[in-house]
Amino acid sequence: MKTVGDKLEAFKVIGVKPGFNNHEENGVSAFEDITESSFPGKWKIIYFYPKDFTFVCPTEIVGFNNLAKDFEDRDAVLMGGSVDNEFCKLAWRRDHKDLDRLGHYQFSDTTGSLIDQLGIREKSAGVALRATFIVDPDNVIQHVSVNNLNVGRSPEEVLRILDGLQTDELCPCNRAAGGETL
């Protein structure tokens, strides 16, 4: 599994843009490729859930969505994904009232290339574990959290960790006597 200090390698997933419920609206596609080069200069909060249309997942997605503006205010792009395809994600948005016009990216990793690169595939079910990665603007992983399939996570805690990472250089407790970061 990739961990803190590792760099994201090349990847490509299909992103479902914020605010879309249909594959095309007003002549604009709901889909765009997301790669390691997307969102230059931004932090990335990449969270995974096992499958769309499951019981625990909407609670977490809504929790992250409620904080989408807070992540944006910190120059972070929020994106959650699973192995289900992009059309499934749009159908879930239309089907579940709390996911209607979701305000952050979802992504489809149907080949599992990003899941496998990060080492978070649950072996027997073949889906992503409930993993969260905070990646800095240089594509270096700064935080990793991985839960089993049935254990949710706290979006507020992810935001708190992002705040800590972004203020790390300012915190005197993280500096040695000579001023270098520990």
Provide the annotated active-site residues.
57
Annotate 148-176 with three-state secondary structure.
CCCCCCCHHHHHHHHHHHHCHHHCHHHEC
Q: What φ, ψ does residue 135 adopt, rounded to 5°?
A: -120, 130
CB of 42 closer than 8 Å to CB of 8: no
